[in-house]
Chain A
């Protein structure tokens, strides 16, 4: 495979050499926002981490097929239940010429534990980093963790010496106090691109790292990134050829791209699952006309809601056919997905009405629905559609659709989960089911601190025990059985209403080839300018 890639790369580079002067492949791309920081430990967010991955690298990386392969580590093994041993790749240098060694890994582990770090979720996975020799390092976990390597792609390694030289031993602190943190505006990774210049929010230029250790398809020598806020401007920039690639493209603009010369939409299912959730925790719903009891505590009401949602209509009318209806809370790309469980109860308005009547709500009830309007693809429209579908079974939904800052400020834990009925989307950052189960499905409020994004307080006593076992089970078959069990329980309980996986929506010039990752991150390693 490697040989093949190398040949391909050579062929491609050879081909472009004929077409253009060597060493002048410029690639321009635009996203709706900027990478917030160049500090690899500053913000745990897909776009920022994805952008940084061109400059920094972790021990492992996901390739174009989303398989976890070695990056800075050549191989790894689970030597003891609590110990993962990583053998580092030799001869890898940082952009400043320093050798990448085990010290740097240990230093990076320390760094993600500093105050400004937003990588503390990763830090919590690692109890200790032990340097065995220059090119061997052991990561000790607090409990057995069979999937640690899968969770480490976004944990980037920084050069210890560079950080010390520039006083950047701590992660950039968003609360201030270290305003000149060198690592916020500068970068020194091992990746295929070096940071050439950066003006935050305006323009970032990356240049090819001639000393890169790996064989990668890209022939880009200079990559220029500009954030473009406005959808219309971004689409115009792409069509006019001012950028080679732009995302996201509004679903309704796909036709425009298709009819324009030299560009096309590139779409695929994102690993993000969009779902509806109910407040099942409170004694009564604060936004409902039903007093003294909580209609969502009744499983029949939840089932009725599920059966009243016409997912095909949402797919066709709102998502222009580009959504993948979901029966599970995870996408097919996620570790632990079982195809046979991904079916949905069929649309059945009469059945739903009967369930409502059986539950004692023949006349329906009123409830407020919280919905973001700038977070997911057509989020507000989906909520409007759901509201009109639920009206058919007598439920009067008052829609409160607002900007993400307001929405999340209202519904998350810091505001005591102030929502009765909501729409949310989730991509597990680890690409593993455990993240979804522990964040969205497990009972919240316990000592195990699970379920922090279980906004509706869905709770089934069996799940938290299973979640802990899934976390530590090293036998993949047993682990899968437990994952399936959790999803089956959740499904039987109608804990949430999974809707669909939303589409990725990129716009790409015909002059380049790119690889689309299902987490919507963008990797320059696979960009080939034709």
Chain B
């Protein structure tokens, strides 16, 4: 097990270096940051001097090498726009993104799995059909459109919820949370639903398909023949066996939720890392872009690792195999 984790960690370093390399190669096509950092009247000499000071005149390998060396020490440089260390900015913005992502994930799982189970058991019920049709909307409408529609309905027309931002936040040490104030919770509702909707429908459809598959298997039939109650068969026997692929997808989707919170954050002006990244792209704030991409790669790598470990927990066969081969 430890050897396995170590091997995966080694792989992840390579993945992250590759992401950083590709990202750096792309930055050259994003535009020139200097013009966003100085005013219109700044002279060419000043602009050239600034470019030199930032090390933007160095060759690509030199810039990349410097980035890797600093990043290895947890140092991501100074944001061109905020003029502050990128690591501080990310630490400041991370709670907003994580809070939103985790809540969305919980929402997606808590609603998606029961809906999936229900639609699998009551395949022809009218409620199942309604769920299935609704899920089409969730899966086909782009996130930003859902966000804007929600804003229009609940923000502009009904005026129940704030149209943007995070409301009042409470500082708990270095973590800022919006969960302790009314305005914070109100502000969280629409972004969380927007972000969760796609995952929710995905999970629901996946659970349903897997469930239908499992319900047809022999051991379920045996269970029924033994006279086990439906409830036991559905939730103990069948659901447990559908969970392996579902956990994989949920795990990977959690990474996706954090990474693609970008769109939701932009629509709701949610002050998280995704919004900061979008602003950085527009202003060619290379230090932020580089740090963000590497960090997202890290999150994916870590989540994948956790998912792999969870397999062992959920699927006894893997444990048996390992034991049998003497690991």
- Interface residues, chain A, with chain B CB atoms under 8 Å away: 33, 36-37, 39, 42-45, 118, 120-121, 172-176, 179, 181, 184-185, 199-203, 226-230, 232-233, 236-237, 239-242, 374, 403-409, 412-415, 426-427, 429, 435, 439, 449, 452-453
Contact = CB atoms under 8 A, between A and B. Distances in A.
B155 A405 contact: no
Closest 4 CB pairs of A and B: A44-B39, A405-B31, A409-B32, A176-B78
A153 to B, nearest CB: 14
B31 A36 contact: no
A184 B84 contact: yes
Interface residues of B, number: 54
Contacts of B85: 179
Nearest to B269: A228
A409 B31 contact: yes
A236 B35 contact: no
Of listed A118, A174, A179, residue having the most chain B CB within 10 A = A174
Contacts of A429: 39-41
B82 A240 contact: no
12 contacts: A44-B39, A44-B42, A121-B39, A179-B85, A199-B92, A201-B275, A201-B279, A203-B271, A226-B269, A236-B152, A237-B269, A409-B32
B42 A405 contact: no
A89 B51 CA distance: 40
B84 A406 contact: no
Main secondary structure of the interface of A (DSSP, over half): loop
Contacts of A414: 32, 34, 44, 47-48, 51
Contact of A229 (B33, B44, B162, B278): B278
A274 to B, nearest CB: 14
Contacts of B155: 236-237, 240, 242
Contacts of B83: 36-37, 39, 42, 172-174, 181, 184
Nearest to A124: B43
Contacts of A409: 31-32, 34-35
B193 to A, nearest CB: 16
Given A229-B275, A230-B266, A409-B31, A237 B163 contact: yes
Contact of A405 (B32, B39, B44, B89): B32
Nearest to B275: A229
A39 B83 CA distance: 10
A414 B50 CA distance: 12
A404 B37 CA distance: 13
B33 A405 contact: yes
Given A175-B53, A242-B165, A429-B39, 6 more contacts: A43-B37, A173-B83, A227-B269, A237-B269, A241-B159, A405-B283
Contacts of B38: 43-44, 118
Interface of B: 30-44, 46-48, 50-51, 53-54, 77-78, 80-85, 89, 92, 148, 151-152, 155-156, 159, 162-165, 266-269, 271, 275-276, 278-279, 282-284
Contacts of A176: 77-78
A120 B269 contact: no
B30 A405 contact: yes
A179 B287 CA distance: 14
B56 to A, nearest CB: 10
Contacts, number: 158
Contacts of A241: 159
A439 B43 CA distance: 10
A124 B92 CA distance: 38
Contacts of B40: 44-45, 426-427, 429, 453
A175 B85 CA distance: 11
A142 B229 CA distance: 95
A374 B284 CA distance: 14
Contacts of B34: 409, 414
Nearest to A429: B41
B267 A233 contact: yes
Contact of B164 (A228, A408, A452): A228
A156 B284 CA distance: 28
Contacts of B53: 175
Contacts of A439: 41
B35 A232 contact: no
A405 B44 CA distance: 16
Of listed A184, A185, A242, residue having the most chain B CB within 10 A = A242
B54 A200 contact: no
B170 to A, nearest CB: 14
A403 B282 contact: yes
Nearest to A239: B156
B31 A237 contact: no
Given A174-B83, A236-B151, A452 B43 contact: yes
A181 B83 CA distance: 9
Contact of B162 (A172, A242, A406, A427): A242
A304 B46 CA distance: 38
A267 B73 CA distance: 51
Nearest to A453: B40
A272 to B, nearest CB: 11
Nearest to B46: A120
A233 B164 contact: yes
Given A201-B82, A240-B159, A240-B163, A413 B41 contact: no
A242 B39 contact: no
Contact of B82 (A36, A173, A203, A412): A36
Nearest to B33: A405
A200 B32 contact: no
A61 B155 CA distance: 39
Contacts of B271: 199, 201-203
